[in-house]
Amino acid sequence: MQIDKQQIIEFLKNRGDSSKAGQAESELPEKVDTERDSGLLDKLGVNPKDLLGKLPGGLGGLGS
C-alpha cells in the first residue's frame, strides 16, 4: 500500500512529534510503500494501521 509522504509528515505533526516529522521529510520517499519502507516507518514510530485510521475517509489518498 502506498501513502503520500506529506500525509505521514502531517500525521506526525498532528501527534506533536515535529522532530520525527522533520526526519520523515528528509528520509522518506515521496510515495511511501508500507511494506518496502516498513523499517523507516518503524524508526519514525509510525504504525501504518494507526495511520490508516487518521487519514481522511479512512483510506483517503492511499493506493495499492
Domain boundaries, the chain: 2-54
Total Cβ atoms within 10 A of residue 62: 17
**Which residues have a Cβ under 8 Å from the Cβ of 47 and sit 6 or more positions away?**
41
Tell me how far CA of residue 16 lies from CA of 29, 32, 62, in angstroms.
22, 21, 23
pLDDT tops 90 at residue 56: no
pLDDT digits (tens, 9 = 90+) for 2-47: 999 999 999 999 999 999 999 999 999 999 999 999 999 999 999 9
Angle at 25 between CA 53 and CA 31, to 5 degrees: 60
State the cell numbers at 16.
506533536
pLDDT of the residue at 49: 86
pLDDT of the residue at 19: 96
